Amino acid sequence: MNTAELVDLAQQLRVDSVRASAAAGSGHPTSSMSAADVMAVLLAHHLRYDFDRPAHPGNDRLILSKGHASPLLYSAYKAAGAIDDGELVTFRKLGSRLEGHPTPRRLPWVETATGSLGQGLPVGVGVALAGKRLDRAGYRVWVICGDSELAEGSVWEAAEHAAFEHLDNLTAVVDVNRLGQRGPTRHGHDLDAYARRFQAFGWHTIQVDGHDVDAVDRALGEARSTTGQPTAVLARTLKGKGVASVEDREGLHGKPLPDAEEAVAELGGRRDRRVRAHEPSATRTLHSVPTGRLEAPRWEKGEEVATRDAYGEALAALGGARADVVALDGEVGDSTRAEFFAEEHPDRYFECYIAEQQMVAAAVGFATRGWVPYAATFAAFLTRAHDFVRMAAVSGAGVNLVGSHAGVAVGQDGPSQMGLEDLAMMRSVYGSTVLYPCDANQTARLVATMAGLDGVRYLRTSRGEAPVLYGPDEEFPVGGSKVLRSGPHDRLTVVAAGVTVHEALAAADVLEGEGIAIRVVDLYSVKPVDRETLRRAAEETGCLLTVEDHHEEGGIGDAVLDAFTDGRPVPRLVRLAVRTMPGSASPDQQLHAAGIDAASIAAAGKLLVEEAVVR
Amino acid sequence: MNTAELVDLAQQLRVDSVRASAAAGSGHPTSSMSAADVMAVLLAHHLRYDFDRPAHPGNDRLILSKGHASPLLYSAYKAAGAIDDGELVTFRKLGSRLEGHPTPRRLPWVETATGSLGQGLPVGVGVALAGKRLDRAGYRVWVICGDSELAEGSVWEAAEHAAFEHLDNLTAVVDVNRLGQRGPTRHGHDLDAYARRFQAFGWHTIQVDGHDVDAVDRALGEARSTTGQPTAVLARTLKGKGVASVEDREGLHGKPLPDAEEAVAELGGRRDRRVRAHEPSATRTLHSVPTGRLEAPRWEKGEEVATRDAYGEALAALGGARADVVALDGEVGDSTRAEFFAEEHPDRYFECYIAEQQMVAAAVGFATRGWVPYAATFAAFLTRAHDFVRMAAVSGAGVNLVGSHAGVAVGQDGPSQMGLEDLAMMRSVYGSTVLYPCDANQTARLVATMAGLDGVRYLRTSRGEAPVLYGPDEEFPVGGSKVLRSGPHDRLTVVAAGVTVHEALAAADVLEGEGIAIRVVDLYSVKPVDRETLRRAAEETGCLLTVEDHHEEGGIGDAVLDAFTDGRPVPRLVRLAVRTMPGSASPDQQLHAAGIDAASIAAAGKLLVEEAVVR
């Protein structure tokens, strides 16, 4: 396209952004208008993308990190012929694919859900990493960022990671329109301020008038030809560009234009320009996935093994069987045992240093390209990435997250290192699976099983050693549980998982000595939960005692309730959980102080079978 | 102290760090040894601190962001005479104040709990902001950071915020010892790499040999005399400095020295040097708190008001009555309505831009200095700061967090903007209070009540307008609830909160028309929960139906269970919650699609009273 045609395309994108927002009665047209020239030039001259084949392995990847500018993205899809005008004006309506913020659940051309700012670039880094280190399919990753979102620390985790990995297949275009939601950004139109920051982190930077299509064209070309480092194109723009009544004005964020018809006229009226993006280069399939026989690690019953060790060994074995498995870690691979994978498969291991948001974002990026990522850190520190986990669910991304050092059983390190909220966090994620093994063979099985599930999968591992309870050939279906003790005279069911399974078994021995038979259920699948077994246990034993190394809210006690919220009779319940703020102490002392050790279980169980009220 | 004495003090700190870790059998002596010279110089020559009066308003504030180097901090306390040698060797033992990572719950000289890396500097920014803008007591804030933790984005949110606010009372000393937990950091000993980054963000930087006490002394002096910007002292150090067998070696993170006795000998043996820090300058009390009469906003029953509007108005009024209230917002003050406070009390309003981690950290910082912070953003985006909220609880910090735009009721913006996990997140925080008002007068009361509570307090507000249900003089105690409908023939209790209260009332009307009387409970206090009312309702009506604009895990349904986990008989239960991934749609359409509107409640309620199983 020549200059005039590019300008005309950009105006069309503005017109359609205004129209879509007007039809919806809400949306962010002014945030779309600032970036319209960038989008027009990118679409017409630089993006290599086959809109008929969004799964084409050679397609470039376009991420609109400022997801609220979705009208611009959808207008671009229309110009590319991917959607028609009738669909464009369904924007933000019930049932429409064109949501307020774009999601890949609905639209095949969207790489990752955005709308929580500061996430597009970190995910883009993951995609670019996959492209450069694994796929090698020649695609580029283009991320359009807002200026406001550069205040998010996650952007600088991404900047650091991208430069360190020399991701020259990654370009961030920052739409510096000077205005955030409620007013001016910190740096306004000071492009130098942004350039200094990106340069300091090792990026190539280009400053450009974002409304000069030829200048933008040259900048994107320069980005493509820059090697050895990622490029940030800093585009000076005006919010609401093209319509005088809204251009560069405060107080208009997230609002349709006051008079859409007049605005369309001012922008030169409707037009129906089509643009065909460059073809992606022919390429082999993204990655072959030779799946071999899994030589899973095996342990004998009674061996003392930490589940984190089992995770590391099982993942290393899985990586041997499946060529699509990758591992990430937040600079604690010697603790999570992800290092076992790193030693065997260094080419598929990604050190994320202490940047948990970037780690989870990179995992999402790998997942978008068909890889099966396992990302691990301490369970406590996964809370750092909560918003990324939440958005992974909105994306429908298949990621495996592993939190080690769960609960007070960590011991001496104290509360800052103890995951005591992770089950609540992970259970509340849409469509998630939450697994919490108590022994090494169970861990190994679940690690392999996770790979084939949908959505966000979470595995909780423990620091300390524990005896192996199950044989190496035992199976552990997701949504199942294991009844470890049971008999015809059980008067109580103790439901435990992870470290408390061992305490529950010890408590069962104690109570047996006192003539009280109890059932013990190992609830390794915390979500989905084994409703059938829990209901049967309730019917047969009359009451349930849950015990967990987690705060009392949102964990195993609440998960068990899930079996009884359909109006059926509910058994009497007692919940043992961590209710105090731990200090430093040995693991055994911690379990005792928290009231979740064998002695506490036995005492509470005894009270419960005696039908007393316990609290 | 002269050079020799400073060197001697530093060696003593090393010796005591080694001894404490040896006595514990765990801990991080090598991470302590690298920063010992910095600590010695800081303590002897620069820190103004009265260890007998940790609450002295003029005291400098020392934050050990690399909290795992706690042996060094405790050794410094010993050198300052704050603890004795007998206590030093209780390190990491049950009942000791000297935890693996320092917490202010146990030790009066600790400003904020650390141990989750990348949090000390953001909290320090909050303290420095309080010092510069509010307290004006002349204290300085010293933060000792590790080099590994500079990978955390939160550090760069803090760097940005500190420079933008010209916090020249803040000094970050980075202990660049080159080694993280599992190996070398990204930048090793490349101090220039760190200097470029801090400079780009607007900091003054000083590079120094961290083991040259005179050079460190000059650097800290230069930091104190630098005006207009914060200073980062980048200290080149060696992990394990002073003991050849561990110095600058990998694989020794978090481990006591192999031979403590030999190491102590190599370090010159035990000594008992005392150091008296400089006195803080005399100062007035930190801030007077003139508490006037609260002129709370009042609304008439039936008025249509959004609870977010009520939050803004109530907070502005509270700020008028209480001079110790400050407000923070993540660049969405026009949405959360924090802007109402900003308009009336601009001197106590802190714009944090889109950096939720820094926002919550700053709130914690304000709280440490006795201020009462309210920090607001969309409920969904508070997940970004989950780890900071968790650590605020470890600190015991009193912070008010406000999440607006809760649930699917947000409408067209779609799932990225909907807080659907926030109740689970906030309930699982140790010692938290979780409040979720349904009308404006209730909101106003709760906003004022929150100020006086302990720990983390969370208020959930809604975007849309709703009718005022309560008179302006109604009281809403924390831990209470309101029975909005009840009668002698109630066959079911619907427990709702926020937006679903209105739906429940409408459902009650529908069912009444069908001859089914139901009770409606407004559970505005989600944690602690009103056990008494719920138990009475269960006894009197036989079954409970919970309905919430939140995912089914960890929210109101689970909170209600809390009344029945002591072994007493449990009522039959049905839980209505958001179980699908919403798209864009109007608020009414969203509530209906999620099955939490009046029609859904009525239908489920009817089934339940007919004793059917509902799912």
Write out pLDDT tens, residues B223-264: 999 999 999 999 999 999 999 999 999 999 999 999 999 999
Same domain, B510 and B435: no
CA distance A52 to chain B (A): 24
CB B391 within 8 A of CB B368: no
Give the residue ranges of DSSP H helices in B171-326. 191-200, 213-225, 260-266, 307-321
Q: Structure tokens of B59?
A: 């005291």
Residues in chain B with CB shorter than 8 Å from the CB of A186 are 160, 164, 353
Same domain, B413 and B335: yes
| Residue A610 confidence class, pLDDT cut points 50, 70, 90 | confident
Same domain, A454 and A492: no
Cα angle: B405, vertex B410, B412; to 5 degrees: 140
DSSP letter (8 states) at residue B587: H
* pLDDT at A359 exceeding the cut of 60: yes
The answer as to whether B272 is a domain residue is no
Residue B613: per-residue pLDDT: 55
Torsion over CA of A102, A104, A109 and A111, rounded to 10 degrees? 90
Counted across chains A and B, CB pairs separated by less than 8 A come out at 361
CA distance B267 to chain A (A): 26
Alpha-carbon span A103 to A114, nearest angstrom: 7
CB A436 within 8 A of CB A524: yes
CB A72 within 8 A of CB A152: no
Residues in chain B with CB shorter than 8 Å from the CB of A24 are 412
Active site residue B356: yes
* pLDDT at A12 exceeding the cut of 90: yes
Q: Which residues contact B315 (CB under 8 A, 6 or more apart)?
A: B325, B327, B338, B340, B341, B374, B447
CB contact under 8 A, B180 and A353: yes
Q: Structure tokens of B381?
A: 């985006």
The answer as to whether A286 is a domain residue is no
* pLDDT at B88 exceeding the cut of 60: yes
Catalytic hit among B152, B266, B339, B356 = B356
CA distance B58 to chain A (A): 29
Q: What is the mean pLDDT of chain A?
A: 96
CB contact under 8 A, A572 and B568: yes
* pLDDT at A284 exceeding the cut of 90: no
The answer as to whether B193 is a domain residue is yes
Phi and psi torsions of B250, nearest 5°: -80, 160
Same domain, B250 and B127: yes
Residue B152: per-residue pLDDT: 98
- Domain finish residue from B409, B444, B467: B467
Alpha-carbon span A77 to A23, nearest angstrom: 17
Give the residue ranges of DSSP H helices in A110-165. 120-129, 153-164
CB contact under 8 A, A335 and B181: yes
* pLDDT at A286 exceeding the cut of 60: no
Residues in chain B with CB shorter than 8 Å from the CB of A415 are 99, 101, 103, 113, 115, 394
CATH value at residue A230: 3.40.50.970
- Domain finish residue from A250, A266, A282: A266
| Residue B287 confidence class, pLDDT cut points 50, 70, 90 | low
CB A561 within 8 A of CB B562: no
Residue B281: per-residue pLDDT: 84
Instruction: Write the pLDDT tens digit of every residue in A177-231.
Output: 999 999 999 999 999 999 999 999 999 999 999 999 999 999 999 999 999 999 9
Instruction: Among A180, A353, A608, select the one facing B331 at the smallest CB separation.
Output: A180
Residues in chain A with CB shorter than 8 Å from the CB of B384 are 116, 152, 386-387
Alpha-carbon span A51 to A108, nearest angstrom: 9
The answer as to whether B289 is a domain residue is no
Average pLDDT of B196-206?
98
Nearest to B38 by CA among B216, B209, B277: B216
CB contact under 8 A, B115 and A185: no
Nearest to A401 by CA among A346, A351, A342, A361: A361
Same domain, A586 and A502: yes
Alpha-carbon span A418 to A405, nearest angstrom: 6
Nearest CA in chain B to A69: B413
Q: Structure tokens of B210?
A: 């961290």
* pLDDT at B431 exceeding the cut of 70: yes
* pLDDT at B329 exceeding the cut of 60: yes
Residues in chain A with CB shorter than 8 Å from the CB of B567 are 543, 572-574, 607-608, 611-614
Instruction: Write the pLDDT tens digit of every residue in B8-41.
Output: 999 999 999 999 999 999 999 999 999 999 999 9
Same domain, B22 and B135: yes
Nearest CA in chain A to B393: A581
Instruction: Write the pLDDT tens digit of every residue in A78-131.
Output: 999 999 999 999 999 999 999 999 999 999 999 999 999 999 999 999 999 999
* pLDDT at B615 exceeding the cut of 60: no
Instruction: Write the pLDDT tens digit of every residue in A594-607.
Output: 999 999 999 999 99
Same domain, A419 and A491: no
The answer as to whether B204 is a domain residue is yes
Q: Domain range spanning residue B549? A: 482-614
Nearest CA in chain B to A92: B584
Residue A612: per-residue pLDDT: 58
Alpha-carbon span A380 to B116, nearest angstrom: 8
Instruction: Among B149, B335, B583, select the one facing A99 at the smallest CB separation.
Output: B583
Q: Structure tokens of A263?
A: 């605005």
CA distance A88 to chain B (A): 14
Same domain, B312 and B228: no
Same domain, A456 and A492: no
Question: Per the structure, how many domains does chain A have?
Answer: 3
Q: Which residues contact A343 (CB under 8 A, 6 or more apart)?
A: A316
The answer as to whether B280 is a domain residue is no
CA distance B23 to chain A (A): 12
- Domain finish residue from A266, A293, A325: A266
Pairing label, strands A372-378, A325-329: parallel
CB contact under 8 A, B100 and A154: no
Instruction: Write the pLDDT tens digit of every residue in B294-323.
Output: 999 999 999 999 999 999 999 999 999 999
* pLDDT at A562 exceeding the cut of 80: yes
Average pLDDT of B60-78?
98
CA atoms within 13 A on the CB side of A97: 16
| Residue A614 confidence class, pLDDT cut points 50, 70, 90 | low
* pLDDT at B500 exceeding the cut of 80: yes
CA dist list (Å): B118 to A141, B148, B155: 29, 9, 6
CB contact under 8 A, B94 and A182: no
Alpha-carbon span B574 to A569, nearest angstrom: 11
The answer as to whether A292 is a domain residue is no
Phi and psi torsions of B209, nearest 5°: -75, 110
Q: Structure tokens of A571?
A: 């058994």
Q: Which residues contact A175 (CB under 8 A, 6 or more apart)?
A: A31, A34, A35, A38, A66, A69, A144, A145, A146, A147, A210, A235, A237
Average pLDDT of B476-500?
97
| Residue A281 confidence class, pLDDT cut points 50, 70, 90 | confident
Residue A287: per-residue pLDDT: 56
Residue B611: per-residue pLDDT: 73
Residue B198: per-residue pLDDT: 98
- Cis-peptide into A528, omega within 30 deg: yes
Same domain, A120 and A188: yes
Instruction: Among A148, A153, A612, select the one facing B154 at the smallest CB separation.
Output: A153
Residue A353: per-residue pLDDT: 98
Catalytic hit among A157, A356, A421, A548 = A356
| Helix (H) or strand (E) segment spanning residue A266 | helix A260-266
* pLDDT at A288 exceeding the cut of 70: no
CA distance A608 to chain B (A): 6
| Residue A282 confidence class, pLDDT cut points 50, 70, 90 | confident
Pairing label, strands B204-209, B231-236: parallel
Residue A202: per-residue pLDDT: 98
User: How far is residue A606 CA from its own chain's centroid?
Assistant: 43
Same domain, B457 and B492: no
What is the interface pTM, i.e. ipTM, of the complex? Answer: 0.97
The answer as to whether B345 is a domain residue is yes
* pLDDT at B556 exceeding the cut of 80: yes
Residues in chain B with CB shorter than 8 Å from the CB of A557 are 561, 565
Same domain, A522 and A603: yes
Instruction: Write the pLDDT tens digit of every residue in B351-398.
Output: 999 999 999 999 999 999 999 999 999 999 999 999 999 999 999 999
